Structure 1
Amino acid sequence: MSDSFKELEELKSVSVGIENDEKGYTDKQCPSEECEFLFKVNSDDWLNIFKDEAVWCPMCRHEAPADQWFTIAQVEHAREEAFKVVTGLVEKSLSNMTKKFNRSQPKNSFVSISMDYKGSNSRTFTIPAKAAEAMELEIKCENCHSRFSVIGSAFFCPACGHNSVTQTFSDSLRKIKAKIDNIDVVREALTTASSRDEAELTCRSLQETCISDGVVAFQKLCEGLYKPYGEAPFNAFQRLEQGSKLWGKAINKEYNDWITSDEITELNILFQKRHLLAHNEGIVDERYITKSGDSLYKVGQRIVVFVEDVEALLEILKKLSDGLQDGCGVV
């Protein structure tokens, strides 16, 4: 009887394949329970660039060996497949044992004994885990050239852990644009779910944070790009005139090489509005009027941030970032 279960006894493990999506990317998931970020990696790069000892989460930079990055769905599928294979082997063994027993019985005997086994026809092979839909944002690491894709944003390369200041800046601009493009949707949803008052408060706050997000994103981009040229003074790139002069010394080009004087004036007002929002609850003081040259407000008023302000900020920052990356030789 033990021979009937020989195949089952010799089973060491069950191998379950994982399909790639239509673009050749494989699903991965951060093993940190605090994150569990889903992303994809190019399957060729996973074999040729990624290392067994360490992979990094594109969102939180959690580090773990390569064999810990299966998705929750893949693990669950593998468990189900393993159970089906073991069940299939048990049923196959019982069926073989039944046939063997029946063949061993003497024919034409006065007493006839036979065994009958009805299994469920379970399979003894596995079906690969299906790939999730392709993700929209495809990224190529500027450091190790590995390719990966995400939904939303990514801050780190999963193959080498590199943080790209240009990718982070690009993601920041996309997030700001997503906020401002969906203001009306948010307003309508909150008006329906709560009240018109709360809807307006939330939307105004969203518009104001867009200004702050844009200025900080530009500062971080400049700080990252400037590192090869030295250490910039603290928060220098939040001050347009000082930042422009630093770039003039570093790469022989200043902001007026990439944007017009009118755009510099508008950008300066927006940077000063950000300063007011961060440090004075948006209430206009003499310093704001002096530094911004904004004649629309008097001391004691509160500034207003319009959708058009955010759109202008995005457009001007994009021009500056393109010029800076070109001037710094960033591909």
Structure 2
Amino acid sequence: MRDNHRFRLADGVELVDQQDDSFKMQISIPSDDNGFLGRQCPECALIFRMDAEQYKALPEDLTLWCVYCGHHAEHSEFITEQQRERVMRAVGDFAMQRVSRELDKTFRGLARRSRGGAISFSSKSRPFSPRPLPGIDEEQLIRVRTCASCHNRYAVFSDHRYCPVCGQLPAPSVAFDALLADAARLDALEALAPEVKAPLREQGVFTRNWVDTVENVVGTVEALASALFQATVPNANALLVGKGGIFQRLDPMADLLITAGYPDLRAALGPQTWQRLLETWAARHVFTHNDGIVDEKYLTRVPASSARVGQRLVLTEDMCRRALDDAKSLCQALVDVLR
């Protein structure tokens, strides 16, 4: 406990300056066991964490970005609920002492002025004991990200698109992180205990997850290819006229890159990988547009399939993991080609 400028303050609180109508305090905010500090977006209310030492070294007038929604504002606005509670405890205890001191002065003055009359006042102040500051027990980090641009380290707990310091993440970072997230989701379901798996499997949770994985793979590649193409190709807009959705279709996308003067993705990946990618894209199409029911278009794209028209396509975890590996290779090829 501190006795700072004759005020009793809890450990972690320091009174830096005090005027008649204002005061300035420093209140410690402890980092977690990994040296990370919580930040909470004032817009979407989601929490992320930042390396505490790197955070201290950032400029005082720093504008932070929410890693999830992209809201950006002065960094002090990103205080978490638990941190705010800690601050308000310190400020409240200090304010109580100031009020008590002013009341003591008032009563002493009244007592002196009433000695010759019929009314007298007396007051007795009790020593004030500040309450200990509440600790910080927020969600702990699972995996640390390092921004490729500013090299600041941070941790997130959901899908994200921004670095807290420099804003919008590069498209490749977003794509590769999305593929890792899909792989982590497969791992999480596979790691469940058998008695937990059984009802989930019966309710179609595993099947739905595999379908989502295939759809996410196509969406991730589409977003990356579109972003890289428009950022790299000088006449991108002219080449894209009348070609809506071209980055959802593998062969047309590869042909577009050739037209723009870039190498053939098919040659970069090899025929086997490219064929597996075509099959993944065909599977995504029937699930997105036909509830997984096989049609003639699917069989044209996947001639080796044993399915018949009208049957429902069945996915497996192995198919999804191969699709993720192939998509990583395709994303890397896009990055290499569209330098």
Query: Deviations 1:26-51 (Å, cap 9, x if unpaired)?
Result: 3211012xx21111234565466568
Q: Which residue of 2 aligns with 1:71?
A: 80
How many Å apart are 1:177 and its aligned residue?
A: 1.1
CA shift for structure 1 position 78: 0.6
Q: Determine what percentage of the aligned residue pairs are the same residue.
A: 24
User: Residues of 2 paired with 1:51 and 1:302: CA distance?
Assistant: 59
| CA separation of 1:222 and 1:300: change in aligned 2, threshold 3 A | same
1:214 equivalenced with 2:223 (yes/no)? no
Q: Could you tell me which residue of structure 1 aligns to residue 188 of structure 2?
A: 182
Residue in 2 that maps onto 1:204 = 207
For residues 34-89 of structure 1, give each alpha carbon's deviation from its aligned partner in whole angstroms, at most 9, with x where no partner exists. x2111123456546656837432110112333221111110001111222334466
For the structure 1 residues 317 and 151, does the alpha-carbon distance in structure 2 shift closer, same or farther, using more than 3 Å as the test? same
Distance in 2 separating the partners of 1:52 and 1:294: 61
Larger deviation, residues 245-254 vs 55-64 = 245-254
CA distance in 1, matches of 2:140, 2:189: 28
In 1, the alpha carbon distance for the partners of 2:281 and 2:193 equals 26
SS of residue matched to 1:15: strand
Distance in 2 between the 1:292 and 1:82 partners? 68
- CA distance 1:205–1:134, change in 2 (3 Å): closer
Q: CA RMSD in A?
A: 3.7
Partner of residue 305, structure 2? 295
- Tell me, which stretches of 5 or more residues in structure 1 are unaligned? 97-113
How does the TM-score come out when normalised to structure 1?
0.76
Q: Which moved more, 1:206-215 or 1:318-327?
A: 318-327
**Structure 1 residues 116 and 216, CA gap change in structure 2 (3 angstroms):** closer
Instruction: Give the TM-score, by structure 2 length.
Output: 0.74
Amino acid across the alignment from 2:211: E
Equivalent residue for 1:110? Answer: none
Q: Does 1:14 align with 2:38?
A: no
Residues 52 and 67, structure 1, Cα contact 8 Å, conserved in 2: no
Kindly provide the CA deviation profile for residues 144-197 of structure 1, in whole angstroms up to 9, marking residues without a partner as x: 5544322343211222331431122122212211222233439843755xx864
- What is the CA-CA distance between 1:268 and the residue it aligns to? 0.8
Question: Structure 2: which 5+ runs fail to align?
Answer: 1-5, 8-17, 106-121
**2:271 maps to what in 1?**
261
Of 251-260 and 237-246, more deviation after overlay is shown by 251-260
